[in-house]
Amino acid sequence: MGRLRHKNLVQLLGYCRRKGELLLVYEYMPNGSLDDYLFIKDNLKNLTWSQRLNIIKGVASALLYLHEDWEQVVLHRDIKASNILLDADLNGRLGDFGLARFHDRGVNLEATHVVGTIGYMTPELTAMGVATTKTDVYAFGAFILEVVCGRRPIVPDGPRDQVILVKWVASCGRRDALTTTVDSKLKDFNAEEAKLLLKLGMLCSQSNSENRPNMIQIYQYLEGNVSVPGISFDTTGFGMPNISHETVTQLITASSSANFSYEDVTILFGGR
């Protein structure tokens, strides 16, 4: 991890031992987590449209490096707003590699422990336990929608119901009302850029992994070098793990961590 070098990754500087504890030392990110800017209600700071677009492009560049440009393939396996830190200039830096997996190129991947966060996990990951670059792409799609819409992938709607962000965006897309999903805190945004990002987020969130783009294609779409292909907004084409409200509640109850919430539950079966 210490050998990874990219301007949009939080750099691991080293580690130290203190009173029996091993501590990882990262470069300091003065603006904290992107999650704080998007979801803390009393946060007076609000990211502009251009800042959000820049953050999405930065994280895409980091994932392109991890998937395609480093000597090994690096699967992050937990891409979400709370794992994106902001530097002094509000550039997005992908951090928290606690669930990351490194493997040589061309090897056949084997099933592993199912890890990740509800709402960002692909159907095939929960069914087969095999993480690939396409599982990262799926999470990146959820992340795009999260940043553009200012909503988490799963939002409680009453005591027993939930709103799934990708399906809500799809339903708005069917009515040709995509831009109505843009975060209401954004009073000024580029409608064409918003449509591009929303379509790209949906393209990455397709149930069939073969239909998802890779990070090379995603970066080309974001840079405007290639047009985003047409997409059907039939909600059956966009999948997420079949995890019930009751299961989520049980996971939260069983966890001893006070930091877990309905919106952000990390599943970790079998240890890191």
* Residue of 53, 77, 92 lying closest to 200 (CA atoms): 53
Burial class (CB in 10 A: 0-12, 13-18, 19+), 60: buried
CA distance 114 to 122: 11
Residues taking part in catalysis: 78
The CB-based long-range contact list for 52-55 (8 Å cut-off, 24+ gap) reads 52/147, 52/148, 52/186, 53/193, 53/197, 54/90, 54/91, 54/92, 55/84, 55/86, 55/90, 55/91, 55/92, 55/147
Strand locations in the chain (E): 12-18, 21-26, 73-75, 84-86, 92-94, 101-103, 115-117, 154-156, 162-164, 266-268
